[in-house]
Homo-oligomer: A and B are copies of this chain.
Amino acid sequence: MSVSDPLPSWNDCNAKQSIIDFVARVSLAGSSDYVPVNERVAVFDNDGTLWCEMPVPVQAFFMSDRVKALAPQHPEWLRTEPFKSILAGDIKTALATGIKGLAELGMATHAGMTTDEFVRIVRDWLSTARHPKLNRTFTEAIYQPMLEVLALLRARGFATFIVSGGGAEFMRVFAEDVYGVPPHQVIGSTIKTHFELRAGKPVLVRDPALDFFDDKAGKPVNINKYIGRRPIACFGNSDGDSEMLMWTTLGRDDARPSLGVIVHHTDGEREFAYDREHVLSGQLDKGLSEAAKYGWVLADMKNDWRVVFPAAARSAQV
């Protein structure tokens, strides 16, 4: 490994070379594929692309712990799904109640407080909660190879954005410290809020109503709404990222070069192995076919990543 290798946690592979080549092509003056710096926009899914989303997405663990903390004020939850399953320790059954159940869990745990109070609740939780299998906190269950991709892109003038189905205000609590992505570059699902003066002090209150679900065809919609510029690089891992990969790579009138990358979860030993059959969240089915059709690059976690998580990366480098 060369000391000047910008992606040291990646083995030599097609994905690594494709990323390095693309970044060079668009950022080297004189390159026929040169892209002005203000147009160098890269978007990243979060769950399963930047951090671990198994056995359930991190925000589901947060919802579960919040339901348990709030349960004494809601005796009816012991008799009502999806709360009943959560309180019995069965998150997967609770999530299997579908969109309606998920929305109920989301509103019961994410609404009814000010935006400042919500930040404090999430921050406190993240500081102590641990992944059930990986023996680390959730913000340590992030992918070292992807941190290196973020750093490489930023070193070459890219603005890096997160575009995730997860909650924007949940992710913003840690995204700047953990990924180097500032709050205004974190796009995600949102609930409605309203402005109030409480004894002369302005607050924003989180209301129990979905504002926008940032997944699938909603991702390019939000990219346009928040970024206002078409990305030239897009990183995802599931069928929920398909439309934003299309929006980045297909049929561009501006003839800009583009790169689409899919993180393929092939490593059941160091992380989790799942794709076509995993329907609860993070399913990668049509995306595997589209990758071949559209030239999206597959990053094979088992074969392409020398290390997966930062701690392992650190010990490997010692």
Which A residues are closer than 8 A to B by beta carbons?
A: 38, 41, 115-116, 159, 161, 168-169, 172, 176, 182-186, 190, 193-195, 197, 200-202, 204, 211, 217, 220-221, 224-229, 243, 246-247, 250-251, 253
Contact = CB atoms under 8 A, between A and B. Distances in A.
Contact of A246 (B41, B190, B202): B202
Contact of A193 (B182, B224, B250): B224
B204 A224 contact: yes
A221 B246 contact: no
Nearest to A218: B195
Contacts of A225: 168, 190, 193, 211
Give the top 9 A-B pairs by smallest Cβ distance, nearest first: A183-B228, A201-B251, A195-B217, A184-B227, A172-B228, A202-B246, A195-B220, A183-B229, A202-B247
A183 to B, nearest CB: 3
A202 B251 contact: yes
B226 A226 contact: yes
A195 B227 contact: no
14 contacts: A38-B182, A41-B184, A116-B253, A168-B225, A168-B228, A184-B227, A184-B229, A193-B221, A193-B225, A195-B217, A195-B243, A201-B250, A202-B220, A202-B247
Q: How many copies are assembled?
A: 2
A204 B168 CA distance: 22
Given A41-B184, A194-B221, 14 more contacts: A115-B224, A116-B253, A183-B229, A184-B184, A184-B227, A190-B225, A193-B224, A193-B225, A194-B217, A195-B217, A195-B247, A202-B243, A202-B247, A226-B226
Nearest to A186: B228
A190 B204 CA distance: 20
B185 A184 contact: yes
A38, A116, A159, A221: most-surrounded residue (chain B CB, <10 A): A221
A128 to B, nearest CB: 23
A116 B201 CA distance: 42
Contacts of A190: 225
A185 B38 CA distance: 12
A41 B176 CA distance: 15
A114 B247 CA distance: 13
Contacts of A201: 250-251
A168 B221 CA distance: 14
Given A182-B38, A184-B184, A197 B246 contact: yes
A251 B116 CA distance: 13
A185 to B, nearest CB: 7
A193 B218 CA distance: 9
Contacts of A182: 38, 229
A229 B183 CA distance: 7
Nearest to A221: B193
A184 B195 CA distance: 23
Nearest to A41: B184
A240 to B, nearest CB: 13
